[in-house]
């Protein structure tokens, strides 16, 4: 079974803090994704990576950055957390040529 | 621009009955893919079923089937013989167009509650 693991289920941070969300997949997938999920808006893509050290902006990259130093790990970074970044964050991975994405359990982030 | 529309924010169904969750889409790409995901309260998004735009038959996976009507641009999910464990959020999604084909575009979701 494909396994995508997000390091934290719940996080509470203060405004202005630097926040790291970690995601690890164990299926040697080339593609990895970070989404945020908000009620009534579905999932929106923040960043995408198709290879180590490669990244592409998604639909809502402002206020976020990413890091992919190893194939299995994709990190989402909030340089200076703000209250409007309170949300559910979902990581996903997929093989290079496949469309089906496999998701982690999500990290619910609250910024106070 | 691509768009996925799910017009049912919430639905109820009696256990053992069938239920249809609506999804309409908009795209200018002649080749596209449609997906359904389930999100239980635990948070994880679980892939259910996929339909390619050129597939001749409607996709089926166990109790899930996709009612694909290309001319109407609809891709409704049908769950037969509902179970209590089917209570969850359900998201319809579409593969991105052309240069964005790596990504999925999601609808706003439908919350399904199965009554015993």
Q: Which of A8-22, A94-108, B61-75, B95-109 has the lowest mean pLDDT?
A: B95-109
Could you tell me the pLDDT band of residue A41, with boundaries at 50, 70 and 90?
confident
Average pLDDT over residues B95-110: 81
Alpha-carbon distances, residue A107 vs A20, A34, B93 (angstroms):
11, 11, 21
pLDDT given for residue B101 in this prediction: 67
Q: Using alpha carbons, select from B34, B39, B26 the residue that is nearest to residue B110.
A: B39
Answer yes or no: is pLDDT of B62 > 80: yes
Instruction: Closest CB to B44: pick one of A48, A101, A103.
Output: A103
Chain A within 8 Å of B35 (Cβ-Cβ)? Answer: yes
Give the model's pLDDT for residue B96: 73
Count CA atoms closer than 13 A to B84's CA, side-chain side: 2
More confident residue, A16 or A97: A16
Percent over 70 (pLDDT), chain A: 97
User: What pLDDT score does A95 carry?
Assistant: 87
- Is a pLDDT exceeding 90 seen at residue B91? yes
Backbone angles phi, psi at B99, to 5 degrees: -70, -15
Q: Distance from B95 to chain A by nearest Cα, in Å?
A: 7
Residue B103 has what pLDDT? 82
Q: CA of A50: which chain B residue's CA is closest?
A: B102
Chain B contact present for A8, CB below 8 A: no
The answer to whether B9 and B22 have CB atoms below 8 angstroms apart is: no
Nearest CA to B23 out of B44, B47, B51, B61 is that of B51
Give the Cα separation of B76 and A53 in Å (integer): 38
pLDDT > 90: percent of chain B:
77
The residue whose two tokens read 């109407």 is B72
CA distance linking residue B33 with residue B104, whole number of Å: 9
Residues in B closer than 8 angstroms to A105, CB to CB, are 42-44
Min Cα separation A40/chain B (Å) = 5
- Interface touch A48/B109, C-beta < 8 Å: no
Cβ separation B108–A105 shorter than 8 A: no
Closest Cα in chain B, distance from residue A39 (Å) = 8
Q: How far apart are CA A105 and CA A41, in angstroms?
A: 18
| Residues contacting residue A46 through CB under 8 Å, at least 6 positions apart | A34, A35, A36, A58, A59, A60, A61, A64, A66, A76
Q: What is the C-alpha separation between B114 and B116, in angstroms, rounded?
A: 7
Q: So what's the pLDDT on residue A102? A: 92
Q: pLDDT by residue (tens digit) across B2-59?
A: 899 999 999 999 999 999 999 999 998 888 899 999 999 988 899 999 999 888 899 9
Pick from A5, A11, A43 the residue to mutate for testing the B interface (most B CBs within 10 Å). A43
Mean pLDDT in residue range A16-42? 94
How far off is chain B from A74, nearest CA to CA, in Å?
16
Inter-residue contact B36 to B77 (CB < 8 Å): yes
Contact A105 B42 (CB under 8 A): yes
Instruction: Determine the pLDDT at residue A2.
Output: 67
Q: Residues 16 to 45 of A: which have CB under 8 A from any B CB?
A: 31, 33, 40-45
Q: Of A10, A20, A16, A31, which is closest to residue A81 (Cα–Cα)?
A: A16
CB burial of A19-35 (b: ≥16 within 10 Å; e: otherwise) equals: bebbbbbeeebbbbbbb
pLDDT, average across residues A40-62: 92
What is the reported pLDDT for B98?
67
Rounded to an integer, the average pLDDT of A45-68 is 94
């Amino acid at each position: 079974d494909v396994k995508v693991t997000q390091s934290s289920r719940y996080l509470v941070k203060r405004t202005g803090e630097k926040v790291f969300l970690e995601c690890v997949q164990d299926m040697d997938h080339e593609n990895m994704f970070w989404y945020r999920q908000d009620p009534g808006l579905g999932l929106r893509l923040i960043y995408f990576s198709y290879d180590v050290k490669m990244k592409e902006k998604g639909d809502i990259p402002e206020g976020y950055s990413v890091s992919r130093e190893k194939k299995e790990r994709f990190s989402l970074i909030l340089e200076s957390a703000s209250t409007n970044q309170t949300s559910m964050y979902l990581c996903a991975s997929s093989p290079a040529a496949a469309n089906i994405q496999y998701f982690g359990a999500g990290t619910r982030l609250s910024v106070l | 621009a691509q768009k996925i529309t799910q017009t049912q924010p919430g639905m109820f169904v009696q256990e053992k009955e069938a239920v249809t969750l609506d999804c309409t889409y908009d795209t200018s790409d002649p080749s596209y893919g449609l997906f359904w995901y389930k999100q239980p309260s635990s948070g994880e998004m679980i892939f259910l079923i996929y339909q390619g735009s050129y597939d001749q038959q409607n996709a089926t996976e166990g109790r899930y089937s996709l009612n694909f009507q290309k001319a109407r641009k609809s891709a409704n999910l049908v769950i037969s013989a509902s179970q209590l464990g089917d209570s969850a959020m359900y998201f319809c999604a579409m593969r991105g167009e052309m240069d964005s084909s790596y990504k999925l575009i999601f609808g706003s979701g439908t919350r399904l509650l199965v009554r015993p």
